[in-house]
Structures are given as C-alpha cells and as structure tokens.
Amino acid sequence: MISSQSRTSSTTDQREGFLAKSIEEQTAKLPSDTFLWLALGSIATSLTLKITGREKDALFVGQWAPTFLLLGVYNKLVKQLGSDRTENRV
C-alpha cells in the first residue's frame, strides 16, 4: 500500500504543460454556463435537423452535447482546483 505522504509529494512535483496551461487560462475566462448553453443549443439544432429529415446531420450535431458538458465540468474543475494552485504555493 502506498502511503499518503509519498502520493502527495509525487503529485506536487508534477507541472502542467504549456498547452494545458494555455487552455486553462482561456477557458477560465468563460462563464461556466457557456458550455451548458452550447450543449442545449446542439440538442435543439439536432432536433431541428431530425424534424427536417436530415438524420445523419442530426446524429452528428447531437453528439456534441456530451462533449460540451464534459468541457463544462473541466472548466469548473480548473476554476476551483486549477494547476496553478499547486505551482504557486509559497
């Protein structure tokens, strides 16, 4: 079994890469509900496409909703527990 002390020290030694840090900085500027509205918009667009008979397009656009919701969760976690929290400790 790994002790909590060794797990904690290995976690604080890791640093985020340039790309992850850049994405976090940009997404942190967005309100959290942006991703919810994008998901709802993709669902509405998918429904509209389905009603108009564009089945394949409806399926394609409808699959965006879970991605937007997952990005919203990531955005919320970054805002609350962002990588700079461990890197900027004094």
Q: What is the pLDDT of residues 19-74, one digit of tens each?
A: 878 877 777 788 878 899 999 999 999 999 999 999 999 999 999 999 999 988 88
Phi, psi of 30 (to 5 degrees): -85, 140
**Residue ranges making up the domain that contains 76:** 14-84
Number of independent structural domains in the chain = 1
Specify if 38 maps to a domain: yes
Residue 50 and residue 58 in contact, taking contact as beta carbons nearer than 8 Å: yes
The pTM score is 0.65
Specify if 4 maps to a domain: no
* Cβ neighbours, 10 Å, residue 65: 19
In single-letter form, the type of residue at position 60 comes to F
Specify if 7 maps to a domain: no
Amino acid 88: pLDDT: 53
